[in-house]
Structure 1
Amino acid sequence: MKTRCLPLLSFLLALLPCQSAPQHACGEQPNIILILVDDMGYSDLGCFGSEIDTPNLDQLAAKGIKFTQFTNCAKCETTRTTLMTGRYHTEVKGNSRNSITIPENLGLAGYQSFMVGKWHIFDTPLERGFDRYFGFLEGASNFFTGEGTKGGSSYKLEDQDYPIPKHFYSTDAFTDKAIEYIDQRDRQKPFFMYMAYNAPHYPLQAPKEDVLKYRGKYKQGWAKLRQQRYARMKALNIIPADMKLSQPEPDVRSWDSLTTAEQDNMDLRMATYAAMIDRVDQQIGRLVGKLDEEQITNDTLIVFLSDNGACPFDRTRQPTLDNDYMPWDGRSYYCYPKEWANACNTPLRLYKQNQNEGGISTAMIAHWPNGITQPGTMNRQRGHLIDLHATFRELAGTDYPADFQGNQIGPARGISLVPSFSGKPRQQHEYLYQNFAEAKNALIKGPWKLVDYKYLYNLESDRIESNDLSKSNPQKFAEMKAEFAKIDQEVNQGRAMKRINKSKSPKRK
């Protein structure tokens, strides 16, 4: 009797809803593809207001969700550390073993993990949970030759040095290898794929046909481009109809102050930048084509975002200008200046490294036919890339461990985005802590944002950070500063406050 009842009991239990399990744990574990681009501005995608041709990403957005208030850490390495660990980079600094990376955590749920592209953080991909890897380990690399910023190459194929072949272009090569990894995967297991393109980070380099597609389209200048994007963003409902356009910083030059030759050179640089984003979009189209071919598109979550806002540093190398090297020549090394970065971050203030909205805001897209119940919508809740670790764990049906490989793991900081996929509000962050090099920092609590321990903004009414409330609301200003000091101690051992207090100390004569 006992043995006969067990199958019936199991059948009845199977009919019960999985209320105690993570959402989606009852169904199939999705494949997960995380696409991170490098130094792309908030308004640089067509579906976020840009003139740049990005039909494949626009299509993913049209069938998925656009997250209009998603944020990062404003810098390559800090973002990547936070992203991979689900903890603030300040907590991991100097002790990467107090964290568990996304592939390590998903591996506990049976996932296989692959990576292509830029690593630029602690250890190596193969040491931190990835089964296969192709890319480079440092912060920047020549797109055609693979040479790093300081010379040499840190390209690896698995754990071996990789000599760069002729006719190489990194954006294409990363996609080639990602498609190969998908083709060679174990089809009995779900996979996690991390695609970290180095585009459109400097040096600005792209194939000739892509650059010429945009050549001459930017001779109207950066101010005009900003106005055009601003209007499109309103028409697309990316920003509210009553949202103002931030004023350029005082050191942003007038387009008319440039000579005709200088304007032509600036057009070339922006055309190259646009071409790099266009090329990424083309390659994402190839990737989705592979998913379609494998008939796994519906079972795959694709998340796309940027590691920080547009980059203001014009580090163009003099030999490039002296020799008139074109950006499809591997000897070239162009960057664009802050004026173009200001346009790329429309309508927000400042750029990469700054913890203002122009530094930390990213266009983010999530696409998953089997998991997103309200496609073609926007999510306007504040989110942060610490949330992706939590999201992927929930979808995989795995817990966050207290220890891993003999090391105690510190607390996870993110909140899962899974409710957002079905149009539900999710739990709000108690706070978001922002820090770059201890000098540039921010604390966000509800609508309030403290920037650099000097300025106070209400993001609900003033996302462009045009109205500093530190003097008109001294009580809230003092409250936010006290909160920053407390949280900085918790997640950063008080290092930012030490620097702040040191800067206030009278200098010795």
Structure 2
Amino acid sequence: MKTVFILLLTGLSCLLNRSKAQDKRPNIVLILVDDLGFSDIEPYGGTDFHTPNLTELAQQGTRFQEFYNNSICAPTRATLLTGQYAHRAGMGYFNVNLGLPAYQGFLNHESRTLAEILQGAGYSTIISGKWHVGDDKDQWPAQRGFERSFNFVGGASNFYEINDPENPTVPLYRNNKAFYLPKNRYLTDEITDQAIGFLREQAQDKKPFFLYLAFNAPHWPLQAPEEETQKYNGVYQQGWDSLRVKRYENALQKGVFPKGQMIAAKDSSVQEWNKLTYDEQQYWQRRQQVFAAMIDRVDQSIGKVRQTLKELKEDKNTIIIFLSDNGAQGGERNRIYTSRNTETVGLPGSYDIQNSSWSQTGNSPLRSYKDNPYEGGIGSPFIVWYPKEVKANVVKRGTGHLIDIAPTLYDFAQAKYPSKEGDLTTNPLPGISLRQLLHTDKNQVDRQAPLFWERAGNKAVRYGKWKLVSLFKEGNKPQLYNIDEDRGENRDLADQYPEIVKDLEARYTIWAKENGVVDYRRLKPTGQFR
């Protein structure tokens, strides 16, 4: 009997090992960058940047003209990680718990994370980079399904000397234990190398893997290795006005912006480049050089990850997705952080931010900036690479949204999203799988339901060709745009089509109620947490 039992165990072990070896489900690398504008990479018109790895992914993969995020950091991450609208996941607001389910400031457990679902489906799960969807330890990545984790939990960080044992400023954690960045170590490089180390580790698991690679670049402060910054000497002499138009022309030529459509109107608050003094132009060129260097370093990092996949013989069976959490940053934060700015732009000790001047170029040809429901705030570059199934060098209309990523990945991974987890009833997924769109000649998502946004009282609805926008600071007066003909949002048609405005407002009201959205006037006293 004992011999039979041992034979059974041996047979079971062989069966399990064989099943792992035969598991051909794709690995997943999900790359999120921070505050990158629509045309801030070469495949979307930013030919002033050196991004050969992203260019190759685009040439060998599929890009969307229209892919939407949530206009700002944490709400985007909440939706990306759960497949839920941010309010449904508990992240209608962030960095503070407002005592309401939709505004608790961390992910609720009814919204299951990508890591939890994929881990349950037999995947190894890894995060390296920025978290920003829960500050307390029980809300960290390791507690939400990530088996291997390197991260900081908040929304921003210096890129050099961010912490040390004597004076931690932005805590870093590796598998829930404090980690101290070596002196002169650049954070983007550490995020990359930690991810690569985890990939090599997990190779022993003999399972497919999910890597969430969440760079904090090119978010402020503008800091980059000087050798990268120097590569862009002279590139930005032309200034933001002419480069903004050049990016538009490039986007048209590459097919990522619809032919025949006009660039968004110029932001009147941005000073004309030719009216700046020579010294001012030199200063602003330097800022854009550093910003470009940050993106350049991210591209190099993506190349290192891809090389690691080749060495592990996993490159041909890995899906890579690239996107940004929101559009480029508007405004000017330097006045808040003047006391921190003790060095030349880009060097350790500096604390400069990308502002409206260059960000209008970064979001070209779209309108407006991060934290705003216009296309420049919510429109993201979106690249999917998976040669086994995804068509090469194709640009599709879309229209995709963050809520679609979870069902898409579960489709590829053959992972089931449960309606219940024990006694917990999970939130159903509102998005749809993009898999069919990615591997067929279809150009557009078959979406029956509208898409919705709410952020600090600003609202938007996208339904077919129509987009409704209303801004809190303007009393939420409705604006209506036909995105099929005017993605630059230059012509407000609200007065011409009042019945469409009324219909979209009614749909928004229903969605807001279902997702726990609260009138922002009730939350306004806490506006300092924006």
Q: Is the 8 A contact 2:64 2:256 kept in 1?
A: no
Letter of the structure 1 residue corresponding to residue 41 of structure 2: L
Measured after TM superposition, the shift of residue 336 of structure 1 is: 2.3
TM-score, length of structure 1 as denominator length: 0.89
Q: Is the 8 A contact 1:455 1:469 kept in 2?
A: yes
Tell me how far apart the structure 2 counterparts of residues 34 and 396 of structure 1 sit (CA, whole Å): 13
Matched, 1:131 2:147: yes
Aligned residues: 471
Runs of 4+, deviation exceeding 4 Å: none
Tell me how far apart the structure 2 counterparts of residues 200 and 494 of structure 1 sit (CA, whole Å): 30
Partner of 1:144: 160
Matched, 1:38 2:62: no
Report the secondary structure of 1:214's partner residue: coil
Shift of the 159–406 alpha-carbon distance from structure 1 to 2, 3 Å rule, reads farther
Task: Provide structure 1 residue ranges, at least 5 long, that are not aligned to the other structure.
Answer: 1-25, 503-509
Partner of 1:114: 126
Tell me how far apart the structure 1 counterparts of residues 174 and 423 of structure 2 sit (CA, whole Å): 28
Measured after TM superposition, the shift of residue 413 of structure 1 is: 1.3
Q: Is the 8 A contact 1:43 1:363 kept in 2?
A: yes
Measured after TM superposition, the shift of residue 358 of structure 1 is: 0.2
Measured after TM superposition, the shift of residue 429 of structure 1 is: 4.5
Partner of 1:506: none
Report the secondary structure of 1:90's partner residue: coil
Report the secondary structure of 1:468's partner residue: coil
Tell me how far apart the structure 2 counterparts of residues 397 and 385 of structure 1 sit (CA, whole Å): 19
Partner of 1:11: none
Tell me how far apart the structure 1 counterparts of residues 149 and 441 of structure 2 sit (CA, whole Å): 36
Task: Provide structure 2 residue ranges, at least 5 long, that are not aligned to the other structure.
Answer: 1-21, 91-103, 471-475, 525-530
Matched, 1:434 2:453: yes
Tell me how far apart the structure 2 counterparts of residues 367 and 355 of structure 1 sit (CA, whole Å): 28
Partner of 2:395: 378
Report the secondary structure of 2:28's partner residue: strand
Letter of the structure 1 residue corresponding to residue 52 of structure 2: P
Shift of the 151–310 alpha-carbon distance from structure 1 to 2, 3 Å rule, reads farther
Partner of 2:113: 101
Shift of the 120–500 alpha-carbon distance from structure 1 to 2, 3 Å rule, reads closer
Q: Percent identity?
A: 37
Shift of the 236–283 alpha-carbon distance from structure 1 to 2, 3 Å rule, reads same
Measured after TM superposition, the shift of residue 424 of structure 1 is: 4.4
Partner of 1:285: 303
Letter of the structure 2 residue corresponding to residue 431 of structure 1: P
Counterpart among 35, 58, 61 of residue 58 in structure 2 = 61
Counterpart among 486, 510, 523 of residue 462 in structure 1 = 486
Counterpart among 198, 201, 210 of residue 228 in structure 2 = 210
- Trace 1:140-289 onto structure 2 (pairs within 5 A): 140-146=156-162, 152-185=169-202, 186-289=204-307
C-alpha RMSD over aligned residues: 2.1
Measured after TM superposition, the shift of residue 219 of structure 1 is: 2.4
Tell me how far apart the structure 2 counterparts of residues 500 and 450 of structure 1 sit (CA, whole Å): 23
Report the secondary structure of 1:92's partner residue: coil
Shift of the 40–395 alpha-carbon distance from structure 1 to 2, 3 Å rule, reads same
Tell me how far apart the structure 1 counterparts of residues 226 and 423 of structure 2 sit (CA, whole Å): 51
Tell me how far apart the structure 1 counterparts of residues 249 and 517 of structure 2 sit (CA, whole Å): 43
Partner of 1:318: 338
Shift of the 278–405 alpha-carbon distance from structure 1 to 2, 3 Å rule, reads farther
Tell me how far apart the structure 2 counterparts of residues 495 and 319 of structure 1 sit (CA, whole Å): 37
Tell me how far apart the structure 2 counterparts of residues 500 and 141 of structure 1 sit (CA, whole Å): 31
Measured after TM superposition, the shift of residue 216 of structure 1 is: 2.7
Partner of 2:320: 302
Q: Is the 8 A contact 1:69 1:383 kept in 2?
A: yes
Tell me how far apart the structure 1 counterparts of residues 340 and 205 of structure 2 sit (CA, whole Å): 47
Q: Is the 8 A contact 2:287 2:346 kept in 1?
A: no
Q: Is the 8 A contact 1:104 1:130 kept in 2?
A: yes
Tell me how far apart the structure 1 counterparts of residues 523 and 71 of structure 2 sit (CA, whole Å): 23
Q: Is the 8 A contact 2:255 2:395 kept in 1?
A: no
Per-residue CA distance 1:17-44 (angstroms, 9 max, x = gap): xxxxxxxxx9821000000000000001
Partner of 2:8: none
Q: Is the 8 A contact 1:447 1:458 kept in 2?
A: yes
